[in-house]
Amino acid sequence: MQGFDAHHLIAESPGARLAGSGWMQGRLLNLGEYPGAIRDGGRSRVFGEVWDLPTGSLRKLDAYEEYFSRDPSRSLFSRERATIHVGRKVVDAWTYVIAHQPPRERVISNGRWRPSQA
């Protein structure tokens, strides 16, 4: 999201294009210094930006999100395909979700992360 560390990493990638704002079904959790999404198939929504990216950009994001495809047990987040709603369109896109459920959940009820929530 604009104003956050990952936004600069994405926006500065050659060929990156912001497709718009979107949402997916799931819950957004407050993990302290950053948020984490979980997919639960319920009625809750997680909001964020949707980007068209060249494939090479995913490796940079994987490193940022601490996703290790060769050793998922070490990963902080998992990269998964999800159904994302962008305006009136529905797209299939990569997203990062919590790899290991935290022992206690602090749900962000509106599905939107703000640093002041840390």
Interval 91-97 mean pLDDT: 95
- Looking at 1.10.238.10, 2.60.40.1180, 3.10.490.10, 3.40.50.620, the CATH number of the domain 5-117 comes to 3.10.490.10
Give dist(CA 90, CA 22) in Å, integer: 9
Decide if pLDDT at 117 tops 60: no
Confidence of residue 109 (pLDDT cuts 50, 70, 90): confident
Decide if pLDDT at 63 tops 70: yes
Decide if pLDDT at 29 tops 90: yes
**In the predicted model, what is the mean pLDDT of the chain?**
87
CA neighbours within 13 Å on the CB side: how many for 7?
A: 8
Pick the residue with more confidence: 92 or 110?
92
Decide if pLDDT at 61 tops 70: yes
Decide if pLDDT at 44 tops 90: yes
Rounded to two decimals, the pTM is: 0.85
**Can you tell me which residue has the tokens 């995913």?**
58
